[in-house]
Amino acid sequence: MSDFLSKFNKDKYDDLVNEKEDKEINNKEEKKAEKQEEKEPQQKQEEQASAVEKEEAVHKRETTPVSEPVSSRSSRRQDAEEEVEIDLDYRRKKKLRMWLIIAGSVLACLLIFFIYYMLVHVKVENFVDQPVSEVRAWAGENDVEVELEQEYSMEYDTNQVISQSVAEGDRIRKGKSLKLTSSLGADPEEIIPLADFSEMTQEEAQTWIDENKAENLQMVTEYSDDIEAGDFIKFSIKDSNIAESEYKRKDSAAVYYSKGEEVFEKNITIPDFTGVAKEEVEKWAEKNEVEMTYEEADSDSVEEGNIISQSEAADEKIAKRDKMEVVVSAGKAVIVPSFSGLTAEEASMNYPDLNVTVKHAFHADVAYGSLISQSVEPDTKLTNKDDKSVTVTYSQGRPYLHDFRGQSEGDLPKLFYEQYKSKGADINYIVKYVDSSELKGTVVDMGVFNEFVPMTYTVEVRISNNASAPPNPPDFSEGPENIYPESGAGEDVGQGELDPEPGAEESQDLLEDGENLEVDEK
């Protein structure tokens, strides 16, 4: 303690006081310098000078109670004047530092906000003309909801995006909804005026289908042997009740164009079909898609139903759709003879392999017993596949009109049919009723009888009109007959309809012609 007090003498005290004063002066000067930094340099110097004077006055006042030598005070004043220096860049540097701090803070805030914004928002792409599935995939990856509206459109295909609520490049907050309008395609209920496809090529027709978005109108190509490749074949609507003028986009239809003739490689080996059954040939042709034609011919050596010959040689090559012909045996044939030199009895008995039917007919130019015609030409070959029936007709010469006097009027239709009509002679009669002693309905006279007449002839037959004559008893020896004619006296009488005898088809035709008979009444 004594040492410390011994060192703390008057000189040390003065130094401490001066150091304190210097610090106060410097602090005041720095404050004044900061306040006057914005003023002109001259003003700064004046203020600095006045500040120095004030500092000296203060220093004098504070140091007055202490008795100091004059030389010590003057030396301190000089030191103060020499040590006070004003830094003109200090204020500017301090302000600049402050602005840098502020700017850095703002930038940091902006950076934090930007990072946060980028994390909770996503940039929207251009989805127009894109499939809705791609938009949904993007939305799932970026946590964005999709609200979808649909409408018909001719410009965009089905399920393609037409418009979007957020433009391309803009951002949308995650969790929010992106509204989209997608296409349902063309309106299926719209009526489409159909083009004339027959005047269009296949390429033009396909372009028309694409432009009109006729998705249910199919383009079909098929092979054709008659129409050149690329040419129109036909147009058809599936529902036949729909007219072409009422065709809608939803209706199913098809337009056909030709692919030309189909050409196949000749890679099918033809077997030897000689003696093979027709059924086996049919199976082979069906399997290999060969157009097989079957002709029949008689054969004495090849069994019926087997192949006699073939148009293409065995072991040759043939292609699909090629044509081929085989001849199938119809068995042994029967040759039809000429019946002109045979009698009717010989014709019916000498040919048991044929079904010969003999007919007799009147003929104005062919002599009695001669052949008039035969239904099958001579030398014709008939097999088991053919109808072996042959009809031969022999002449009975010119028609001879018999005497029918004494016959009943009711028998005349049958007599004229069996005697003449059935044999090709157009012999008719007319009835004239006369007074006679004969029983009523009896033929009492004829205009012509027991002589030859032309093939077409009409004879007058006179019938008794006497109702008072006693009746003759009916003759039942030949079986029951209708002995009571339906026509009475004073009525027009014709030939009645009678069932022709079996086998008399030609005669029946002549009978059905009928004729009107004139009746004279008295």
Whether 464 shows a pLDDT value over 50: the answer reads yes
Give yes or no for a contact between 238 and 251, defined as CB atoms under 8 angstroms apart. yes
The CATH architecture to which 197-258 belongs is 2-Layer Sandwich (3.30)
Pick among 3.30.10.20, 3.30.70.2520, 3.30.70.890, 3.40.640.10: CATH of 334-395: 3.30.10.20
Pick among 3.30.70.890, 3.10.180.10, 3.30.10.20, 3.30.300.30: CATH of 124-183: 3.30.10.20
Give yes or no for a contact between 483 and 410, defined as CB atoms under 8 angstroms apart. yes
User: Of 34-38, 288-292, 316-320, 466-470, where does mean pLDDT reach its minimum?
Assistant: 34-38
Give yes or no for a contact between 22 and 83, defined as CB atoms under 8 angstroms apart. yes
| 41-90 pLDDT tens trace | 555 455 555 554 555 554 444 444 444 444 555 555 555 555 555 666 77
DSSP track, 62-122: HHTTS---HHHHHHHHHHHHHH----TTHHHHHHHHHHHHHHHHHHHHHHHHHHHHHHHEE
Question: What confidence score (pLDDT) does residue 472 get?
Answer: 61
At 419 the three-state DSSP class reads helix
Q: Please state, in angstroms and rounded to a whole number, the distance separating the CA atoms of residues 126 and 135.
A: 10
Q: Please state, in angstroms and rounded to a whole number, the distance separating the CA atoms of residues 144 and 186.
A: 29
Whether 220 shows a pLDDT value over 90: the answer reads yes
Nearest CA-CA partner of 52 in 24, 19, 71: 24
Q: Which amino acid is at 318?
A: I
Give yes or no for a contact between 466 and 456, defined as CB atoms under 8 angstroms apart. no
What order of strands is seen across the sheet that includes strand 145-151? 145-151, 177-183, 161-164
| 131-147 pLDDT tens trace | 988 888 888 888 888 88
> Measuring CA to CA, how many Å separate 66 from each of 17, 145, 200?
11, 89, 129
The CATH architecture to which 400-520 belongs is 2-Layer Sandwich (3.30)
Whether 415 shows a pLDDT value over 90: the answer reads yes
| 239-257 pLDDT tens trace | 989 998 899 999 999 999 9
Q: Which long-range contacts (CB under 8 A, 24 or more apart) does 489-493 make?
A: 489/433, 489/440, 489/465, 489/521, 490/433, 490/521, 491/519, 492/516, 492/517, 492/518, 492/519, 493/409, 493/431, 493/517, 493/519
Q: Please state, in angstroms and rounded to a whole number, the distance separating the CA atoms of residues 464 and 474.
A: 18
Whether 346 shows a pLDDT value over 70: the answer reads yes
Give yes or no for a contact between 405 and 449, defined as CB atoms under 8 angstroms apart. yes
Domain ranges of the chain: 2-88, 92-121, 124-183, 197-258, 268-329, 334-395, 400-520
Q: Do domains 197-258 and 400-520 have the same CATH topology?
A: yes
Query: For domain 268-329, is the CATH number 3.40.1160.10?
Result: no
Mean pLDDT, to the nearest integer, of 393-412? 92
